[in-house]
Amino acid sequence: MPRLGFTLLLSLALLVSPAGFAVPFWGEKQSSPVDSAVDRLPPGAWIWGGDDRQAGPMAVVVSLTEQRAYVYRNGILIGVTTVSTGREGYETPTGVFTVLQKDKDHRSNLYGNAPMPYQQRLTWDGVALHAGGLPGYPESHGCVHLPTEFARLLFEASNLGMTVVVAQAGQAPVSLVHPGPLSPIDAHTGADVGMPQLAGGNSWRWAMDPPAEGPISMVLSRSDRMLVVYRNGVEIGRSRVELARPDAVTGTRAYIVEGHFHPPTSQESALASIEGNSRSLPMPTWIAIGVPGYESAAGRPVPANVVNQVVVPEGFKQKVLPLLSPGTVLVATDAHLAPENSGGHLRVIDSVGPSGWLDDVATERHVGADP
């Protein structure tokens, strides 16, 4: 009995010791629907549209002003979350950072062995992304607190060296303070890329020296009537489009090219050889990807009457079609591509994939946390 009693006391001691504390779970356990208005997410809420690590470089933009973090894959927004950053006297530094170290089960060396799950270190003097408290305002010792499940998803999706930009109003461009559906930064360097618009009456443009390889992702904004193409995290082209039936499909929808292409008919090929147009190029077939709010759509083929509702300039189509292959992602959204000052009504886009397709018709800081 004495031995049993000692064992029981030892077990209880371990349970109440700092190292034995159960790790709290912060924030919501599941993603909000992808069409949720980002500016209305309550503390602890988040959106994760999905991800594919092979789909291009990942980058994160943290807006201290909004108390939100935005995750991009290959130039496209795939996740957004409420955060809590450094409180007064422990302000989270602004600037461009890279992930220096990852530790799934990290505990603080300064704050009573406090758990900091899914830690991704940004500086060696105590700033990191990790799961933590989310009261709805800045309350950390300098770190960026994330909801636990979001922190896990980001931890598993990211690599060492991932670029993270922390921005604040008055110190950074509006595009970084209030990010939009397209990444405002270069995923490789963190530099502000701005939001280049089409000049004058131009209907489309294509990069003079685009990357020769890398995954392709595309975004179609119904509001802007604009299609944007990314390769390896770099915008390589954008085009104005016409929508035969703008309201036929609404909301944020994700699609991916499957492994089958429709070959042109012999009549189309003959006509193409005369006209020198894209009729000779095989047309991709698309399937829908289930995202939060539209899970039941997963795996559904995109019908021809939907595929033929987007009218794209012929020259742009000739540039894009040869690049499409199984795994190429296309996303349709009602959101405007340029950021809004309020950050309001932004819709999250999925990186793992058209409401139609191509048819002729660092600063000084005081930090104390040890992540």
Same domain flag for 122 and 220: no
The total number of residues shown for the chain amounts to 371
Task: Write down the pLDDT at residue 123.
Answer: 95
**DSSP E strand stretches across the chain:** 46-48, 58-63, 68-73, 76-82, 95-98, 101-103, 119-121, 128-131, 144-146, 163-167, 204-206, 216-221, 226-231, 234-240, 242-243, 253-262, 283-289, 310-311, 329-333, 358-359
311 vs 220: CA distance, rounded Å:
12
Amino acid at the residue 47: I
- Can you give the residue range of the structural domain that contains 319? 204-359
Q: Assign residue 137 the CATH number of its domain.
A: 2.40.440.10
Identify the burial level of 199 via C-beta atoms within 10 angstroms of its C-beta, where 0-12 means exposed, 13-18 middle and 19 or more buried. Answer: exposed
361 vs 44: CA distance, rounded Å:
45
Beta bridge partners of 213: none
Looking up tokens 């016409």 gives: 242
316, part of any domain: yes
132, part of any domain: yes
- Which of 177, 196, 215 is the last residue in one of the domains? 177
Q: 0.95 cut: is pTM over it?
A: no
315, part of any domain: yes
296 sits in the region (left: phi over 0; alpha: psi -120 to 50; else beta) called: alpha
Rg over CA atoms, the chain: 23
**Which one has a higher pLDDT value, 52 or 307?**
52
Decide: helix, strand or coil at residue 97.
strand
- How many domains, the chain? 2
Looking up tokens 């609404």 gives: 250
Query: pLDDT category, 261, cuts 50, 70, 90?
Result: low
250, part of any domain: yes
Query: pLDDT category, 344, cuts 50, 70, 90?
Result: very low
86-100, 201-215, 264-278: which is most confident: 86-100
φ, ψ of residue 307 in degrees (nearest 5): -60, -35
Q: Assign residue 339 the CATH number of its domain.
A: 2.40.440
Question: Residues with Cβ < 8 Å from 253, sequence gap 6 or more?
Answer: 288, 291, 294, 297, 331, 332, 333, 355
Average pLDDT in the chain: 82
Query: pLDDT category, 349, cuts 50, 70, 90?
Result: low
- Which of 177, 196, 221 is the last residue in one of the domains? 177
- Which of 161, 177, 193 is the last residue in one of the domains? 177
- Given a cut of 50, whether residue 369 has pLDDT beyond it is no
